[in-house]
Amino acid sequence: MERTIPQVKLESGAGRAASQFLNEKGINRSLRIDLRFTGCCDASLCLRVDDIGEGDLYMEADGLTFIMDTEVYRLAGGVAIAYVEEKDRKGFLLTSERPVSEWEGFGVSDIQV
Amino acid sequence: MEQYKLFIDGKFVDAASGKTFQSIDPGSGAPIATVAQAGKEDAEAAIAAARRAFDKGEWGKMSVQARAAKVRDFADQVARQGLRLAATESMDAGQVISLAKFMPLISVTLLRNLSLAAATKFPWEEEIPVSGNAFAPGREYIRREPIGVCVGIVPWNYPMYIAIWKITPALCMGNTIVLKPASVTPLTACILAEAAKAAGIPDGVINVIPGPGGELGKVLCTHPDVDKIAFTGSTEIGREIMRMASATVKKVSLELGGKSANIILDDADMDLAVEGACFGTFFHQGQVCSSGTRVLVPSKIYDQFIEKMKKRAEMLRVGYQLDPTSHLGPLVSKEQLATVERYVKIGKEEGAELITGGKRVEVPGMPEGNYFAPTIFANANNKMRIAQEEIFGPVVCVIKYDSDEEAVAIANDSIYGLAGGVFSSNNARAQRAAAGVRTGTMWINNYHIFSDFCPFGGYKQSGIGRDFGLECLHEYTQMKRIHVNSMAHSHTNMFFQLLSDYKKVDGFGYSCPTNVVAGHGALSSISKAIVDLGCKRALILTDPGVKAAGLADLVKNALADFCIGVFDKIPADPDLEAVDAATEAARESKADCIVSVGGGSVIDTAKGVCVTLKNGGKANDYLNFMVLTEPQTPHIAIPTTSGTGSEVTNIAVLTSHGAGRKLFIVDPKIIPNVAILDPRFTLGLPKLLTVTTAMDAMTHAIEAMTSIMSNLICDGMALQAIRLIKENLLIVAKDGNDEKARINLQVAATMAGWAFTIPQVGLAHAMAHTIGALHHVHHGAACGILLPKVMRYNVDHCADKLSQVAQAMGVNTAGMSERDAALAAADAVEALMKKVDHPMRLRDVGVPEENLPICAFHAIVDTARIFNGRPVSDPNEILEVYKQAY
């Protein structure tokens, strides 16, 4: 069953960067806001190319479809997605209503394919 | 409820913002303490305190022993707080008490072991016996110094122990530290601060600031007063820390994630392997970065293994962490519980077979606890996310393989490289597998074993740097090289002279330790020489001509039982392969002494053999300048010509086909121990060879005097050599059997060798080397032809020395200007050459005129040119000298 995520906020430029990434890869699929673990303590939120599954929440914004596992949404709440493009730092920065770790918003990540 | 404050500059203080947060018991969900929440202002205050303590405080200036004593006082205070620390660690981080009770103990041992090592074993200062720069003699040593202000960022799985990992080396090495514990487990770090205060660790040396990583991390990692960051945590955060630290080029050590493979080989003890797989994965609920969460099992025992592992996992008791019967406690937080559940869902979606666990566990009376069952995924493949991403929970994938090589390949198919294990009944096989896996630690028939002196850290994206051991002490120091010039005067410095018109190198060291025995019958001294050198097995090296002349047999007979053989295959102009062949003969015969009988080619080969025999490998390994640190294989040289002086010099000239030219071993350690000058060995030398080798010696003597590194001792040797050649060469040219003149020439050649072994030679040699290499002209003949021309070329830079040469050559210089006398010296050399029928021109020895330009280009890069009294950098000038000699 599909339900809408009430709060996914795309900061300026984030939607365009995500669309560009998907277009360049020739991907026409959804973006999952997912939990991931990159080692020794503290999970983080990331964007991952995926298809909607049973029990997923979804929302459309800037022509993109975002999906989120119900449990992940229950943990993190609403999510803001920014795109950072600095001299030596480039990627998506996800912050949530209820931070999933004390380091949330510290590091950037690419879209996982 | 207990309340904890920040610890900054030796004081327990509230956060500047007044904010606090609660720390939660993950087993019950109940808050257990209130903690001051540091913000930017507090982080800056902590850094300032640490900076002051480092720059102006006593800590870094204490003796290493005094500092170690203070660290031991700190260890004592940690021990005093042991029960409180263990209980708090268990309640705060969810460690079962049976594990947490060890934390104070192993923290104390780490503090004690590393502080003692820092005081007694760490190489704070290290001499560099061989600098590798032959032109700047002096003492060279390394001094290791503290880095400064360190930041330690600690994760939540072992909050106390990993805090000690950071504090211990930082303190032992004289640094100060700002410690940021994980926000979900801040309590034991705060207790450590109390222990530091009680131990009298000076204010500002340790600062503890619990608070949100995102906010504090930016301050700690970008602040210009921070010198080093030591972080244990996720790869994503570690990467960002590294990027931030790069702006001010801070030192960084990172211990990051892992997805370690635990390889079960088919000969493993099954019960041990199952225990190892379960312990490697489920210990501390799998919240260990080194966890072996990919268990690799051979297909042929896979089903049996899975059955046993499932059974064993289901025997593990999950319960409240303070219950001493619990094997597994809670996960550290609701977020971690959610993350683990998410990965279990992913594993199922990916098609792995969940054979046990995969769900929360309800512990009676603890409905809010974060308990999760030990979970096994069978039939997983290594491409699945559950096999590639660290889960940090009690979840393991068991992956099939069919060969040891495949197991190693699977183990390496990961972005991480932190740890791993191999279980096998065959240690050799297990060690081969362990060697193939690209990780920082491999355990064989064991897992999760940490030891104070064994380094721990990662390959690949598992981090950089090491915790534990002397290696981690190194990580907390800077390295400073100190050079103490042996000759502290501007006129002794070849490098300073690059900006000066004064090109002479004043000041010198002189050590030419060869024991010379000279005279008719001197050969008889050889057996005593062998005994004095402590040797018993002498191998004679010679060339076919000398052997045919019977000279090698003379030596063999003199050596009697000490002689173990004669190797007579040394060619003229020996190459590296000739040295290697002779070395092989020496190795096979177990020689402990080399006796060289021949000219420069034989003696130089023997020098190479002595080095290669002593140090192993091949001659090519040792073509270098002054890198040997020990006496080489003993060498007795018996020259059969009077020219090279190689019997007393520090140089061996050998042809390198790889380099396409003659190269050198230059080292005082290759100077022969004994030189025997017995005229019987030169009596049969043909006239042409006699005069050309003598002109080689003459060139050594004169170029030693005109070298920019000439010195008074060598000048004396050179002048006597010149006199002896001048007085005796003509005699020998007329009568090769004149023993007295022969011995005088031998002594002259030896003295000329002594003369140039320190100052080296000059342009005539550079040019002669080229002519020899390109046109195979005898070295002595080339030297002789070029020497007078180079003397004239040098006249305005070396007139004083050359005028002395004139006198030694018998020129009456009375009334002459110094310059005219110098020019007269060149004339006198030419006159002598003519009298003894020495070749006078390059055309006489087969050098084609059209090749002179290429010769000039080769000569300009010959090492000998560096020492020439007149600086020479223009190949056209060399070409002009060649033309004059043509």
Model confidence band, residue A1 (pLDDT cutoffs 50, 70, 90): very low
Q: Does B235 contact A39 at a Cβ distance shorter than 8 Å? A: yes
Which runs of consecutive H residues, i.e. helices, occur in B402-465? 404-412, 427-436
The CATH class, in words, for B511-681 is: alpha beta
Establish, for the pair of chains A and B, how many residue pairs have beta carbons separated by less than 8 Å: 118
Q: pLDDT value at position B7?
A: 98
Starting at the edge strand that comes first in sequence, how are the strands of the sheet with B125-127 ordered? B125-127, B138-146, B477-485
pLDDT digits (tens, 9 = 90+) for B564-578: 999 999 999 899 999
Domains of chain A (ranges, CATH numbers): 3-96 (2.60.300.12)
Nearest to A40 among B243, B257, B342 (CB): B257
Nearest to A39 among B183, B234, B342 (CB): B234
- Mean per-residue pLDDT of chain B: 96
Per CB-CB distance under 8 Å, the chain B contacts of A88 are 243, 246
The token pair at B882 is 């060649």
For the purposes of burial, counting CB atoms within 10 Å of the CB of A4, is it exposed (0-12), middle (13-18) or buried (19 or more)?
A: exposed
**What's the rounded mean pLDDT across residues B380-407?**
97
Do the strands B11-13 and B6-8 form a parallel or antiparallel pair, or are they unpaired?
antiparallel
Contact (CB, 8 A) for B410 and B294: yes
Q: Which residues on adjacent β-strands are paired with residue B126?
A: B142
Residues in chain B: 886
**What's the rounded mean pLDDT across residues B54-74?**
96
Residue B336 in contact with partner chain A when CB distance is under 8 A: yes
Q: With a cut of 60, say whether residue B108 has pLDDT above it.
A: yes
Contact (CB, 8 A) for B665 and B654: yes
Q: pLDDT value at position B573?
A: 87
Residue B183 in contact with partner chain A when CB distance is under 8 A: yes
Kindly state the percentage of chain B with pLDDT values over 90: 94
A20, amino acid identity: Q
Report phi then psi at B251, rounded to 5.
-70, 140
Nearest residue of chain A to residue B182 (CA atoms): A102
Nearest to A106 among B213, B338, B462 (CB): B213
Identify the residue among A40, A87, A94 best suited for mutation to test binding to B, counting B beta carbons within 10 A and taking the highest: A40
Q: With a cut of 80, say whether residue B798 has pLDDT above it.
A: yes
pLDDT digits (tens, 9 = 90+) for B272-322: 999 999 999 999 999 999 999 999 999 999 999 999 999 999 999 999 999
Nearest to B335 among A88, A100, A105 (CB): A100
The token pair at B183 is 């926000």
Domains B2-123+143-255 and B511-681 share a fold: no
- The pTM of the full predicted model, rounded to 2 decimals, is 0.89
Q: With a cut of 80, say whether residue B542 has pLDDT above it.
A: yes
Q: Which of B172, B190, B278, B289 is an active site residue?
A: B289
Report phi then psi at B653, rounded to 5.
-100, 120
Give me the interface pTM, i.e. the ipTM. 0.92
Architecture of the domain made up of B261-457? 3-Layer(aba) Sandwich (3.40)
Q: pLDDT value at position A4?
A: 66
Give the orientation angle of helix B852-859 with respect to helix B763-775, to 10 degrees: 130
User: B691-739+751-886: which CATH number, 1.25.40.10, 1.20.1090.10, 3.30.565.60, 1.10.3720.10?
Assistant: 1.20.1090.10
Q: With a cut of 50, say whether residue B745 has pLDDT above it.
A: yes
Q: pLDDT value at position A41?
A: 77
Nearest to B240 among A53, A72, A107 (CB): A107
Identify whether B255 is a catalytic site residue. Answer: yes
Chain B nearest C-alpha distance from A75 (Å): 7
Identify whether B714 is a catalytic site residue. Answer: no
Residue A36 in contact with partner chain B when CB distance is under 8 A: yes
Domain ranges across chain B: 2-123+143-255, 261-457, 511-681, 691-739+751-886
Rg of chain A, C-alpha, whole Å: 13
**What's the rounded mean pLDDT across residues B584-606?**
97
Rg of chain B, C-alpha, whole Å: 38
Q: How far apart are CA B600 and CA B568, in angstroms?
A: 14
Q: Give me the torsion for CA of B355, B356, B358, B360, rounded to 10°.
A: 160
Q: pLDDT value at position B784?
A: 98
Is the domain defined by B2-123+143-255 classed in CATH 3.40.605.10?
Answer: yes
Q: Select from B769, B786, B517, B526 the least CA-distant residue to B634.
A: B526
Contact (CB, 8 A) for B420 and B292: yes
Residue A1 in contact with partner chain B when CB distance is under 8 A: no
Q: With a cut of 80, say whether residue A2 has pLDDT above it.
A: no
**What's the rounded mean pLDDT across residues B525-548?**
97
Q: Does B338 contact A72 at a Cβ distance shorter than 8 Å? A: yes
pLDDT digits (tens, 9 = 90+) for B618-665: 999 999 999 999 999 999 999 999 999 999 999 999 999 998 878 899
Residue A113 in contact with partner chain B when CB distance is under 8 A: no
pLDDT digits (tens, 9 = 90+) for B320-378: 999 999 999 999 999 999 999 999 999 999 999 999 999 999 999 999 999 999 999 99
Residue A39 in contact with partner chain B when CB distance is under 8 A: yes
Contact (CB, 8 A) for B798 and B870: yes
Which runs of consecutive H residues, i.e. helices, occur in B247-316? 270-282, 299-315
Q: Which of residues 70-109 of A touch B (CB under 8 A)?
A: 71-72, 74-75, 88-89, 99-109
**What's the rounded mean pLDDT across residues B762-785?**
94
Please list, in sequence order, all residues whose beta carbon lies within 8 angstroms of the beta carbon of residue B841, skipping any fewer than 6 positions away. B785, B885, B886
Q: pLDDT value at position A6?
A: 66
Please list, in sequence order, all residues whose beta carbon lies within 8 angstroms of the beta carbon of residue B311, skipping any fewer than 6 positions away. none
Q: pLDDT value at position A3?
A: 62
Q: Does B243 contact A101 at a Cβ distance shorter than 8 Å? A: no
- A92's enclosing H/E stretch is strand A89-96
